[in-house]
Each structure stands twice: as C-alpha cells, then as structure tokens.
Structure 1
C-alpha cells in the first residue's frame, strides 16, 4: 500500500483523484488544494514553479511515496525541476490530450481549451512540435473559468456566457474534437456539450494519467491488493469548503472511503 499525493491549485484535481480511486483504490490518498493561491493559470511561470516544488516537498514530508501533479499549469512550469529534485519518487504530470485528439479527429479540426500559462509554456510548444499531423489546432485560454468553477458556479448564466465566448472561435472552425487542458474544465463538460453539441468529442486525460501512475507504482513495487480506503483532503484556504465541494463533485469517493479534512498553511 502506498501513500499517494495529488495536488492542484484548487478543486480541479478532484477529477484525477476520482479516476485514481476508480483504478487504484488500494492506497492512501492525500489531496492538497492550494486554494489560497488559485488560479495558477494567470500567475508568473517563476511563481508557479517555486510554489509547486514547495507543495511537493510538503507532500513528501507527509509520507507520500508517489505524486500526481494534477494541474496542467504546474506540470508545464515545474515538473522537470521537481523530478530533478526528487529523482527517487514517481512523479506523474498531466498535459493536454492533443495526441489522442489527433488520432480521434475525423475532420482534422481540434480545439484546445487551457489556461493561459499552459498554452504559452515551452512544454506545450514542445508537445505540438512533436506531433506528426495535418490537423488545425484552435487554442483558447479559458480566462475566468477557474474562479467560477472554484466558487461552485458550474451551471450559471455567467459561466455559460463566458464559456460560449471562449468556444465561439472553435465553433466557427467547426471542430469535431475538444481537448480540455485544465483539470478544472471536466466539471463543465455538461455545459460544454450543451454549447457544442453531442457530435463534438471531449478529451480528458485523467484516465491515461492514472494508468501511468499504476505502471510507476508497479515498477516501484508499491501496488497492493487490500484497500485501506482513506483519503485526507488538505486545503490552504478552507478544508471544510473543499470537503463540501468534493462531496458534491465526486460523491462516490465518500461512499467508499474514510475521508479526513484539514486546513494547512504552507509557506
């Protein structure tokens, strides 16, 4: 049995935690939401890199033996340095699912909705340069979406209006596949489907991320079969609010696992 740390700028990484609990329930999980500093997508690259490393150090001090950086922005800005600083620990990042989108798209027109920092990062540019394809990629920064999601405004007129504004260029281009390049955005999937229609396929990389986690756990001999079913939710802002959001967004986790919550200050 391993203790696995999952961190995000806020509640977005709950999408990854939910998938981890489905695929690999036989572990302890520590989820850390840096909600006091969300969103990361509009902060400086230097700040994101330094903060992400600090949070990973904290998770390791709490006993984590593997880490999931469940934030596209933090992965883009920090994962190389984190892996350099912690070479003995399996560290799994997340990136926009452009590769599977290229394979799935029929009309070769793909939308990528991500944070501003993810889209301008060297890691994202390298991802695109490494693709062998003839697809048209329409990228859009989802400015303003993360704060709305963090506040619980998943199906409001304000959120729909902003989402329609961001998706308009993709609709004009007639995309048939949309990549969600932020772990917060899958919570808006019903609203996105309402706007784009059921014919547009939505790509979320949580499943692939957790499969990679399981491979790394096996390599490090950390896989076990007896599920302790314990999750500890930490927030740098308000753990009770995080717990309430988690109960709403991933209720199955609370039905099958013992959940503890704490508010922490991490300098």
Structure 2
C-alpha cells in the first residue's frame, strides 16, 4: 500500500457481516472516518476455494490502497485465515484481522467444553486449526460448520422458520454435548444473537469478537499516532453486488439510512 495520505480506515467482508465489526469500531472510535466494502458479488467467501478468496482480498485491498486508508480491518474470519499474511507482506499500513475467540471461550468455560460456529472455509484453514490445537489439551472444542446461515443474513432474514430451523440444527448437537461457551466464528452471526439466545438460553456465554477487534485497531492507531482529532467521523458504504438489493439489508443491519456506492467488480 502507498504512503498514508488519508484519514480514513478501511473495513471489508465478503458481504454485510462485517457491519457487526464496523458498528463496534464506530462506537469505540466515533471520530474516525470509515469506508466499508461488502464484496457481495463474491459472497460468501466461506465456501470458496482459498485461491479465489485471496484474489478477491487483494483486489479489495487495491481499492483501499487507492483510497489511501491509514488502516485496514479484514472483518471476515475466512479472509483473515486465507489472506492476511499476504496482505501484510504487500503493505506498510496496519492490518487487523479476525480470529475466532477460542482463547476467551476456553478461559470462560467451567465445563471445559466449548462450541464454535463458523464457515467451512474458516474451519478448514490451517490458521484456525493451529489456534484450535493450542487450546485442545485442556478444552474440548466442538466445531460446527454452518452452510446456509450467511446467505440467510445476506437476505436480511434474521428470524423466521428457515433461519430458526438452520440454527437449531447446528446448535442442538453442541448443546447436547454440554458446551457452556459458544464462539461466533463468523462476523455475520452476531446479527442472529437474539435468535441464538432464544435457542441456547441465558446460561451459555456467547462470544463475539467485534469489540476486541475495535480495541486492537485503537491500540494500533495509538501506537502509530494515527488517531483522528475530535470531530464527527463519516461512514461510507460500498458493494460489488447489486446496490438495489444490498442497500435495504445494509440499512436493516446498520439501523440507519445510508447511501451505497457500487464497487466495480
């Protein structure tokens, strides 16, 4: 990436899921201007071959490079697992990625049994399996791939029969195995929190990594003296998908009106 000349932070995901992370960043750092990219035309990354995910990440990073962002947040677990090493090699800009919260879940667990909901791509990655093996000596880690969930969220279907049935199908085996902590290993899944709570009850820790990522970004900016002065930060939204289809879902999840720009594929 080129020399920093802008005061903005880039955030991207394969779709609208990264808005869960963007919301934490916007709350913690309200003075920062943010650019969010939903790479909807290639969504979901979680079931794509790693080579294709890497190629998309490099393309989106190139867009942010042209915007001269001062930091980049890869708000997608699959993209982080597949591409973050390569992105960092190409860049002098701080790049913050996602990591499923296995460590906090393992520390919080009283039974020593935790569940992880994630995409097939995340669960199959070497990065995830390296993380899992670090904690497996003392904690039983049950992983559950969730095909179809991301697509439901991308359509704004956060409740209803189909989404509920899918979630119950994925959660019941974990509950039956005695988990007491559940890791949301995909940035889309926090949007299902009310439904997850309804199914798992109140006694299970449900752990989302959005807030720790926002704090990590804050630390990186502070360390480089890149925090913005006190003024209202702007948030700009882009998608490689069909704006007319994506915009209403984004507004539903962001809970505010927004103007969506089209990112050429």
Provide TM-score, normalisation by structure 1.
0.93
Q: Is the 8 A contact 2:21 2:187 kept in 1?
A: yes
Q: Establish whether residue 130 from structure 1 lines up as the match of residue 134 from structure 2.
A: yes
Q: Establish whether residue 21 from structure 1 lines up as the match of residue 26 from structure 2.
A: yes
Report how many residues are paired.
Answer: 260
**Partner residue in 1 for 2:79:** 74
Matches of 1:106 and 1:2, distance apart in 2: 44
**Partner residue in 2 for 1:50:** 55
**Partner residue in 2 for 1:247:** 251
Segment drifting more, 119-128 vs 232-241: 232-241
Instruction: Indicate which of 152, 176, 179 corresponds to 1:175.
Output: 179
Instruction: Indicate which of 195, 198, 205 corresponds to 2:199.
Output: 195
The unaligned stretches of length 5 or more in structure 1 are none
Q: Is the 8 A contact 1:138 1:169 kept in 2?
A: no
* Offset at residue 174 of structure 1 (A): 1.4
What whole-Å deviation, never above 9, does each CA across 1:41-95 have from its counterpart, x for those lacking one? Answer: 0000111112111111111112211100000000000000100111x10000001
**Partner residue in 2 for 1:65:** 70
Tell me the SS of whatever aligns to 2:116: strand
* Offset at residue 132 of structure 1 (A): 6.8
Q: Is the 8 A contact 2:132 2:141 kept in 1?
A: no
- Decide whether aligned partners of structure 1 residues 14 and 110 sit closer, same or farther in structure 2, where only a CA change above 3 A counts: same
The unaligned stretches of length 5 or more in structure 2 are 1-5
Q: Is the 8 A contact 1:154 1:188 kept in 2?
A: yes
* Offset at residue 155 of structure 1 (A): 0.2
Q: Establish whether residue 149 from structure 1 lines up as the match of residue 153 from structure 2.
A: yes
Matches of 1:209 and 1:133, distance apart in 2: 26
How big is the alpha-carbon RMSD for the aligned residues of Structure 1 and Structure 2? 1.5
**Partner residue in 1 for 2:3:** none
- Decide whether aligned partners of structure 1 residues 63 and 228 sit closer, same or farther in structure 2, where only a CA change above 3 A counts: farther
Q: Is the 8 A contact 1:102 1:133 kept in 2?
A: no
Matches of 1:75 and 1:137, distance apart in 2: 21
**Partner residue in 1 for 2:219:** 215
